[in-house]
C-alpha cells in the first residue's frame, strides 16, 4: 500500500500541514493559526487538533514537524524557539504523544533543515548529494545536506548561515553581532534600509508604496519599486545580492557542495539580486569549487519545509531517494 505521511511547518503566524505521499505529492493541505504569541501550549494544542483532523480516516505512517528553533531531534525536544513564547527545553514529542497517542511516530526538526531535506529529496537538488539552502525570510535560516545526510551539528544548531559575519563593522544584527548576513539579506534588513532611505529624503517611489501598508509587505513594495526602475530600490536588492554572494563564496570554499538553493520570502525577488549574488560569489570563490556549484532559486517554495518534514517519516520507514 502506498505510504502517506503528514508534514507540518510551524510558523510564527500559521501552522501548515499536508498529507504527502511517498513519491512526494501533496494530497491535501490544512492550515490554522499557530498562536505562537500565546505560548507553546497554544501552538501544541492547535498542532494536536490539526494532526487529529488531518489523520482522520487516513492510514498515516508518521508525522514530521518543522519548527523554527533549536531542536534536539533525537529526543524530540524543542530546545529554543525565539518566535514562540515560553520555550525552554520543551519536550514536544512527549507532549504530543500524550495528546494524540503513541501509534503515530513523530519526527521533529528545524524548519530550515526540513527545507534543505525537501529540496534535496524532491526539489532543486534531486540530482545532487550535497546542497545548502538559505531561507531569506524575516531572518535568514539555513540547512546543510552533505552526502545525502542532514548535518544538523553536534547539538542540532548547525546551519545558522544568517549569522555568518559578512561585514565585520557592518549593521547591528538581532543576535548582537555586527554585519551578519541577516543584517543585509532578510526582510528585516530590507525594512531597515527602506526606513533609513526614507528618513534621508531620498528620491524614491518606495515612500508612496509603503504608506498605509503593514511592515511585513515592505520587501514586496521594494520589489515592485525595483521592477519599476526605482534606483533606491535597485540599490537595496544590490546590497542583498552582494552580501549573499560573499556568503555563498564562503560556503562553497568551505564545504564544496554541489548546490546552493535560495528560498524564503525574498526568493520571490530572486531575479533582482541573482546576478549580483553570482557575480560576487564568482569574484570571491575559488575557481574550481565555484565552477562546480549550481546556485539557484527554490523549486518547492513554501512547500520545501512540509515535504522535508514528511521525508523524515519515509526515511525512518526505509525509503531511499530515487
CB of 284 to a second copy, least distance (A): 5
CA distance 300 to 304: 5
Q: On the CB side of 261, how many CA atoms lie within 13 Å of its CA?
A: 30
Kindly tell me which of 142 and 305 has the beta carbon lying closer to a second copy.
142
Kindly tell me which of 19 and 180 has the beta carbon lying closer to a second copy.
180
Residues 6 or more apart from 250 whose CB is under 8 A from it?
Answer: 164, 284
Q: Are 144 and 151 in contact (CB under 8 A)?
A: yes
CB of 177 to a second copy, least distance (A): 5
The angle formed by the CA atoms of residues 219, 224 and 225, to the nearest 5 degrees, is: 95
Nine-digit cell at 1? 500500500
CB of 131 to a second copy, least distance (A): 10
Nine-digit cell at 233? 530600490
CA distance 258 to 260: 7
Kindly tell me which of 131 and 307 has the beta carbon lying closer to a second copy.
131
Kindly tell me which of 173 and 310 has the beta carbon lying closer to a second copy.
173
CB of 89 to a second copy, least distance (A): 12
| Site residues, a second copy (CB under 8 A) | 70, 79-80, 128-130, 142, 144, 146-147, 151-161, 163-168, 175, 177-178, 246, 249-251, 253-258, 283-286, 288-289, 292
CB of 200 to a second copy, least distance (A): 23
Kindly tell me which of 151 and 235 has the beta carbon lying closer to a second copy.
151
DSSP string of 286-313? -HHHHHH-EEEE-SSGGGHHHHHHHHHH
Kindly tell me which of 24 and 139 has the beta carbon lying closer to a second copy.
139
CA distance 16 to 199: 37
Q: On the CB side of 217, how many CA atoms lie within 13 Å of its CA?
A: 11
CB of 88 to a second copy, least distance (A): 12
CB of 147 to a second copy, least distance (A): 8
Kindly tell me which of 54 and 152 has the beta carbon lying closer to a second copy.
152
Residues 6 or more apart from 291 whose CB is under 8 A from it?
Answer: none
Amino acid at each position: 500500500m502506498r505510504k502517506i505521511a503528514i508534514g507540518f511547518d510551524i510558523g510564527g503566524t500559521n501552522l501548515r500541514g499536508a498529507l504527502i505521499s511517498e513519491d512526494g505529492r501533496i494530497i491535501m493541505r490544512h492550515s490554522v493559526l499557530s498562536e505562537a504569541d500565546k505560548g507553546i501550549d497554544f501552538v501544541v494544542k492547535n498542532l494536536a487538533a490539526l494532526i487529529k483532523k488531518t489523520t482522520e480516516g487516513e492510514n498515516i505512517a508518521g508525522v514530521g514537524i518543522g519548527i523554527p528553533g533549536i531542536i534536539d531531534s533525537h529526543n524530540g525536544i524543542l530546545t529554543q524557539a525565539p518566535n514562540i513564547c515560553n520555550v525552554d527545553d520543551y519536550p514536544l514529542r512527549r507532549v504530543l504523544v500524550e495528546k494524540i497517542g503513541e501509534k503515530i511516530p513523530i519526527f521533529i526538526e528545524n524548519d530550515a533543515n526540513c527545507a534543505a531535506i525537501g529540496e534535496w529529496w524532491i526539489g532543486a537538488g534531486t540530482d545532487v548529494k550535497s546542497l545548502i539552502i538559505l531561507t531569506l525570510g524575516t531572518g535568514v535560516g539555513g540547512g546543510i545536506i552533505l552526502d545525502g545526510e542532514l548535518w544538523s551539528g553536534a547539538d542540532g544548531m548547525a546551519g545558522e548561515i544568517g549569522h555568518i559575519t559578512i561585514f565585520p563593522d557592518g549593521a547591528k544584527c538581532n543576535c548582537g553581532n555586527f554585519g551578519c548576513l541577516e543584517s543585509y539579506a532578510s526582510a528585516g534588513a530590507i525594512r531597515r534600509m527602506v526606513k533609513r532611505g526614507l528618513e534621508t529624503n531620498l528620491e524614491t517611489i518606495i515612500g508612496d508604496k509603503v504608506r498605509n501598508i503593514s511592515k511585513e509587505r515592505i520587501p514586496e513594495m521594494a520589489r515592485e519599486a525595483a521592477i519599476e526602475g526605482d534606483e533606491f530600490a535597485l540599490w537595496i536588492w544590490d546590497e542583498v545580492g552582494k552580501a549573499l554572494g560573499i556568503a555563498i563564496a564562503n560556503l562553497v570554499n568551505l564545504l564544496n557542495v554541489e548546490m546552493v538553493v535560495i528560498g524564503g520570502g525574498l526568493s520571490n525577488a530572486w531575479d533582482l539580486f541573482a546576478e549580483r549574488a553570482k557575480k560576487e560569489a564568482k569574484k570571491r570563490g575559488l575557481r574550481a569549487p565555484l565552477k562546480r556549484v549550481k546556485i539557484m532559486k527554490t523549486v518547492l517554495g513554501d512547500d520545501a519545509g512540509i515535504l522535508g518534514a514528511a521525508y523524515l517519516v519515509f526515511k525512518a520507514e526505509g525509503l531511499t531517494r530515487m
